[in-house]
Amino acid sequence: MAAASLGPLDPLALDRILREILAAVERGREQVLAVAEHARQEHRDAARELDAVREQLATLIERVDQLGRRQQQARLRLVEISRHFHRFGEEAYRQAYEEALRLHEDWVRAQEREAQLRQRRDELERRLRRLEATVRRADEVGEHVRLAAELLSGNLGRLVGQAADLQRRLQVGLMLLRAQEEERRRLARDIHDGPAQMLAQVALRAEVCQRLLADDPDRARQELERLKALTRESLHDVRKIIFDLRPMVLDDLGLVPALRQYVAGFVDRTGLPVELVTRGAIRRLDPAVEIAVYRVVQEALNNVWKHAGATQAVVRLELAPRRLWAEVSDDGRGLDPTAARPADRFGLANMAERLAMVGGRLEIHSRPGQGTRVRLDIPLGREGGGHADSGPDR
C-alpha cells in the first residue's frame, strides 16, 4: 500500500495551532494564579487570626500569673485564719476558704484556656508555613508557564535575560524575608532573655521592698540598692539591643566611626583582639552602602567568634574616589564554603545578597587550617558615594 502523502505546510494553520497552544497555556497560567491568590487570601486570614490569638495569649498569660499570685495569697490567708481560728471565727474561715477555692478554679480554667490558645497558635503557624509553600510553588509554576508561553512566542533572547533577573530578584526577596524573620527571632530571644527577665526581677524586688518598708527599713534599703543595680543592667541591655538594631552613630557620623565603636564593643564583649585599619579619605557614603558594609562586617566578625576558633582578627576598609573595599580576616581553623552547615551557608548568602542590592560583590577565601578572608567590593558611582571629611585614618 502506498503511503499517504502530506500536503504542503500551511503557515496560517501553523499560526493557528500555535495560538491555540498559547491560549491553553495562558488558561493554565490563570488557573495557577487563581490557586496562588486563593492561598494568599487564606494566608492573610490565617495571619490575622494568628495575630489575634497571640494577643489573646499574651493577655491570658498575664492573667494566669495574676491569678496564681492571688490564689497563693488567698491560701496563705486561709492558713493564717486556720491557725488562729479562735480569734477569727468560723465565718471568716468559711469566707477565706470560698475565696481560695474560687481563685483556684479561676486559675485552673485560665490555664486550660491558655493551653487551648497555645495549641491554636501552633496549628496556625503550621498552616501558615504550608500556605507559604503553596504560594511559592504556585508562583514558580505560574512563572514557568509564562516563560513557556514567551518561548513559544519566539521571545527567547529577551526571555533569558528576564528569567535570570527574575530569579535573582526572587532569591533576593526570599533571602530578605528569611533575614527579617531571623532578625525578629533573635530580637525576641534577646529581649526575653535580657530585659524581660530583669524587669520581672525588678517587679519582684519592688514587691519585697514594699513589704519590708514598715518592718525592716534597713533591709528595704539594701533591696532598693539591688533594685537600682538591676534597673541599670536592664537599661544597658536595652541600649545594646537598640544599638544592634540600628547604631545611631552610623546615622550621625558615618561608617568608619560606627565600625570603630562596634569593634571596640566586640572586643570588650568577646575578648578576641580585633584591629581596624582604614585607608583613604573618610567621608559619608550612601546610607544603603554604609548599612550594607556595616552589617557584613558585623556578620563576618560574629562568624569569626562563633566558628573560626581564631586568636585574632583584622578589619580593613579602603575608600577610593569611586570604589570601596573591605576585608575581615582571621587566623582561625578556616572553612570550606561548599561544605558549610546550612545555617552558615545562609549567613554567607545573606552577606552576598546585602552587597548585591548595592551593586557590590562578596569573595570568601578560606582553606582548612589557614584562616578565612571575607572580602567585599562596592562601586561608589560618579560622586564616590559622599564627601570627604578628613585624611587617611589608621
Closest CA to 67 of 20, 102, 116: 102
Other Cβ atoms less than 10 A from the Cβ of 288: the count is 13
Pairwise CA distance, residues 38 & 376, whole Å: 42
Domains of the chain, CATH where assigned: 15-154 (1.10.287), 179-245 (1.20.5), 248-388 (3.30.565.10)
Query: One digit per residue, pLDDT tens: the chain, 394 residues?
Result: 444 444 444 555 555 666 677 677 777 777 777 877 888 888 888 888 889 988 988 888 888 888 888 888 888 888 888 888 888 888 888 888 888 888 888 888 888 988 898 898 888 888 888 888 888 887 777 777 777 767 666 644 454 455 556 666 666 666 666 766 666 676 667 666 666 676 767 777 677 777 777 777 777 777 777 777 777 777 776 766 666 666 677 778 888 998 998 999 899 988 999 999 999 888 888 888 888 899 889 888 988 888 888 889 999 999 998 899 999 999 888 776 555 444 444 456 677 777 888 888 889 888 888 889 999 999 987 544 444 443 333 3
Pairwise CA distance, residues 134 & 140, whole Å: 10
Counting every residue, how long is the chain?
394
Question: Which residues have a Cβ under 8 Å from the Cβ of 93 and sit 6 or more positions away?
Answer: 78, 81, 82, 85
Beta strand 274-279 with 313-320: parallel, antiparallel or unpaired? parallel
- Return the DSSP state at 2: P
Grid coordinates representing 207? Answer: 514587691
Pairwise CA distance, residues 374 & 264, whole Å: 20
